[in-house]
Chains A and B, each alone.
Chain A
Amino acid sequence: MLRNAPPIDPARLDLAAEYRAKPFGRHSPDLQALLNVMRRAENCQDLILVSIAPNRWVLGHREPDGKPPTLFTDQVFDRLEDGEWEGFKRRWRALTGQELVLP
């Protein structure tokens, strides 16, 4: 992580809850700032959502050099929102060193 990148505060579970409730659409300034950190190239983990059938999604990893994405088939999501949430949790874990558990 870049030294001057804004940190993610693991205490801000309120922001995670806001994202969980509404991953698409208008976010609070604090949530948007957090997302902007997570989505930086060095933090985004090059995630991708791959539809394996209508309304069935898995996460995957975007590979360099034109290679096809690697699919994580151990978890299948019925809704895009659930796939986005899993991506959020993975980034939270990587940036804070802590598992994201919402009450």
Chain B
Amino acid sequence: MTVELKKPTVVGYVDRLYAYPGDEVTLRVSVCEPTKRYRAELVRLVCGETGPKGPGVKEERVASAVDGEHDGIEQRTSFGSHGIVDNLPALGAVAISVLAYPTLPGRGRQALVALGTLRLVLDETGAPALLVGDRALSAGVALRDQWWHRIEARYDPATGAAAIAATPFAGLHADRAQSAEGRLEAGAAPSGPLFFAAAPGPDGGATEHFYGKLEAPRLVSGTVDAQWDFSRGIDTARIEDVSPSRLHGRLVNAPKRAVTGSRWDGSVHHWKLDPSHYAAIHFHADDLADAEWKPSLRFKLPERMKSGFYAIKLTGSSLPFHVGLIVSPRPGARCAKLAVLASTVTYLAYANYRRRMSPGPFELAMGTLPTVDLTDVFLAEHFEFGHSTYDVYRDGYGVGHSTFRRPLFNFRPTGRFWNFAMDLCIIDWLDQQGIDYDVISDHELQDRGADLLSSYRAVMSASHPEYYSSEMLQAVEGFLSRGGRFMYMGGNGFYWRVTFPPAWPGMIELRRAEDGTRAWEEMPGQYNHATGELGGLWRRNGWPPNMLFGVGFYAQGFDNSSYYRRTAASCDPRAAFLFAGIDDEIIGDFGASGDGAAGLEIDIYDRRLGSPPHGLVVASSENHSNAFMLVNEEILSNRQGQDGAQNPAIRADMVFFETPSGGAVFSTGSIAFVASLAHDNYRNNVSRLIRNVVDRFIDPQPFAIPKP
């Protein structure tokens, strides 16, 4: 039997994640097939791939200026981080020194400092070497990984005389110093631009990227004595020469700053308190902040279009690729009473998730085999499209950066039934119900703050709004404090802090510090973002999700989902509107995600973490599977009996409460919830419940907090 394996042959990205009708959008496309032709069209996404138990993909073509056949090119991706000093004076004999902390020595040749054909590298064995052209002077012994070393080199182009030395920093088990002197080819004048952590590539790019930290590079030649101090401008993309020469440089592809340097001794934990302990930059050959593709098409979105989830669908000779985009009403334009808040920051945190395709005991955490599709396999064939924040770099360090200036493989209606694809269940249901709504996005919320929300009576979250900045949380709190109504339609939301580093437009940063259910853990001493904010869980940063939304993350499992049982509190007159027309005690014992509304990642009401005392837990799920495990931030010391089959506390809580200015909050506490809305042709108790909430939440009649 032959099986046809259709993968995308055309991929692309746009210059923003949200736009307004009539906006100009720049599309960058790479065509990976010989014809170099592709077709583009604009589609409104109505429903995603749901598996056999849901309605499946629905999309509507929207006529636009992007429609048609186009000529394309195969684009080169700028990949790997490094530093560049563009304008160097003419140099003669040079002495170079730098502190280096390699994290993957021996994986190919890695340049520490490059000056034209003169390069100070770690060679293929991991030993420091000075290169002129193809000739090398090696210090002879590989550097130990994850140890600081002072590397010094000299070269005189007049004679070819060269020297290299590597001195490990002192320590109980330090290696011995090594050095070598010799002669390299004469006459090769060291020249700019100067590269740190890479060498100039043949095509104008960079090559031989270094994995590891560099600190305090120094270049002495004639009257030049340049000394770059990486502890300056930690929140910028600049590197500063503190010498009179002022040979400042710039960084490419967002290497990690605010990392511990050679002086760090555990006496300080915030880079702003003593930047001298943070004078290092961690570079990776697999860093990516901007793929730097050439623009392919600039086109205007239609002036009149429905707000929603859209995609520019690119098709070559095989499977289409969706370039997702949220279209929102222009500020000041007519708004619906209800807004759906697309969690574009969370989509971005998950973008280009590769690790589930890597070896390992995946099912011990998930309860099922990992599932991917051929678009994901195509991603795996293209390492240069970078990582998600769930991945680790090749040196094993966690990836805390994600940028939208590259192709994104999860802003699409197909693939894993998660985030973007799952959130379309909300869109499909709203369309079926004939409810008027706008779609807005995390990125617009970050840009516009509470002002964005103030035009709406009610805001509905996506199914998994996990990543939030302080500005976004403040905006939601501001909306609630002025009487807004919020529907938290998911689980594990408002969980990690992210920041938007001003130096890197399009990028988010996160540091998985201290605690939480984590794909990797931040290194000690560097829990603070490049913006200075302390990274980690919002529950450790004074803002547990329970405070604003009544519930917070409690358990997860990915094999199947369960149902909710109504509580006595669901009969409270305050909750009567929720269950109007619903006689069932069991809610959501069906759905396209694991046959139940309570599943994947689930949240509970918890007074300790700030759930409001007057909050009504109107239903709780029960009877979860063995795959559901208590989250580790709830575990001080490991113990048995904590899975869903053994611990009856493993559950999702559905919560309602009123806020002081006439507003209210309703939370489902489960990611899988929205996948139940379409069951039985949209006639089911989950659908009825959410309809009841929407109808009441867009009604201006104020809610009143109960008297104690």
Residues of A within 8 A of B626 (CB): 26-27, 32
Query: Could you say which of B1, B362, B373 contacts A44, with CB atoms under 8 Å apart?
Result: B362
Could you tell me the distance in whole angstroms from the C-beta of B471 to the nearest C-beta in chain A? 34
Within 8 A of A (CB), among B1-57: 1-6, 49, 51-52, 56-57
User: In the complex where A39-B363, A51-B374 touch, is A66 in contact with B380 (Cβ < 8 A)?
Assistant: yes
Q: Given the complex of chains A and B, what is the CA–CA distance between A49 and B51 in angstroms?
A: 14
On chain A, the residues within 8 Å of B645 by CB distance are 26-27, 32
Interface residues on A, range: 35 or more
Q: Is B381 an interface residue (CB 8 A)?
A: yes
**Chain A stretch 35-81: residues in CB contact (< 8 A) with chain B:** 35-36, 39-41, 44, 46-55, 57-58, 62-69, 71, 73-74, 76, 79-80
> Which residues of the other chain, A, contact B357 by a CB distance below 8 angstroms?
48, 62-63, 68-69
A38 CB to nearest chain B CB (Å)? 8
B371 interfacial by beta-carbon distance below 8 Å: yes
Q: Is the CB of A52 within 8 A of B364?
A: no
Please name the residue on chain A nearest to B596 by beta carbon: A25
A62 to B623: give the CA distance in the assembly, Å: 33
Contact present for A62 and B358 (CB under 8 Å): yes
Q: In the bound complex, do residue B51 and residue A66 qualify as a contact, i.e. CB atoms below 8 Å apart?
A: no
Cβ-defined contact, B372 with A66, below 8 A: no
Collect the chain A residues with CB atoms within 8 Å of residue B356's CB: 48
Kindly report which residue of chain A lies nearest to residue B364, judged by CB atoms. A39
With most chain B CB atoms within 10 A of its CB, the pick from A24, A36, A58 is: A24
Output the least CB separation between B254 and chain A (Å): 19
Are B625 and A24 within 8 A (Cβ)? yes
* Chain A nearest Cβ from B90, distance in angstroms: 42
User: Which residues of B sit under 8 angstroms from A41, Cβ to Cβ?
Assistant: 359-361
CB distance from B119 to the nearest CB of A (A): 26
Which of A24, A39, A55, A84 makes the CB contact (< 8 A) with B52?
Answer: A55
Nearest chain B CB to A4 CB, angstrom units: 17
Complex: how many Å from CA A47 to CA B360? 9
- Convert B368-397 into 0s and 1s, putting 1 for each residue whose CB lies closer than 8 angstroms to a CB of A: 111111101100110100000000001000
Residues A25 and B560 in contact, CB atoms below 8 Å apart: yes
Closest-by-CB residue of A relative to B375 is A51
For B6, list chain A residues within 8 Å (CB). Answer: 52-53
Contact of A46 with B3 in the complex, beta carbons under 8 Å: no
Assembly CA distance A76 to B373 (angstroms):
13
B625: A residues at CB distance < 8 A: 24-27
A18 to B303, CA, bound (A): 58
- A66 and B252 CA atoms in complex are apart in Å by 23
B612 close to chain A: CB less than 8 A: no
B644 close to chain A: CB less than 8 A:
yes
Q: How far is the CB of A1 from chain B (nearest CB, A)?
A: 14
A3 to B362, CA, bound (A): 22
Q: Does B539 contact A (CB under 8 A)?
A: no
Chain B neighbourhood of A51, CB < 8 A = 371-374
Interface pair A49/B52, CB less than 8 Å apart: no
- A24 near B372 with CB under 8 A, answer no
Q: Which residue of B lies closest to A88 (CB)?
A: B369
The docked-state distance in angstroms from the alpha carbon of A46 to that of B359 is 5
B313 contacts partner chain A, Cβ-Cβ < 8 Å: no
A41 to B2, CA, bound (A): 31
Residues of A within 8 A of B363 (CB): 35, 39, 44
How far is it, in angstroms, between the C-alpha of A25 and the C-alpha of B367 when the chains are bound?
9
A46 to B357 Cα, complex, angstroms: 9
Tell me the smallest distance from the CB of B398 to a CB of chain A, in Å: 15
B102 at the A interface (CB under 8 A): no
B354 proximal to A (CB < 8 A): yes
Residue of A nearest to B365 (CB): A39
* Interface membership of B240, Cβ < 8 A: no
Docked-complex contact A48 and B56, CB < 8 angstroms: no
B350 to A: closest C-beta gap in Å: 17
Do residues A64 and B364 form an inter-chain contact, with CB atoms below 8 A?
A: no
Q: Give the CA-CA distance A87 to B371 in the complex, in Å.
A: 13
Answer whether A54 and B56 are a contact pair too, CB < 8 Å, given A39-B363, A48-B357: yes
11 A-B pairs whose Cβ atoms sit less than 8 Å apart in the complex: A24-B594, A25-B559, A39-B364, A41-B360, A44-B360, A49-B369, A49-B370, A52-B4, A65-B394, A66-B383, A73-B5
Partner-A contacts on B (CB < 8 A): 1-6, 49, 51-52, 56-57, 354, 356-364, 367-374, 376-377, 380-381, 383, 394, 559-560, 594, 623-626, 644-645
Given contacts A50-B377, A71-B5, 5 further A-B contacts (CB under 8 A): A52-B6, A66-B358, A68-B377, A73-B5, A79-B52
**Interface on A for B, CB 8 Å cutoff?**
23-27, 32, 35-36, 39-41, 44, 46-55, 57-58, 62-69, 71, 73-74, 76, 79-80, 83-84, 87
Q: Which 9 A-B pairs have the closest CB atoms?
A: A68-B380, A51-B373, A24-B560, A39-B363, A24-B559, A46-B359, A73-B3, A41-B361, A26-B625
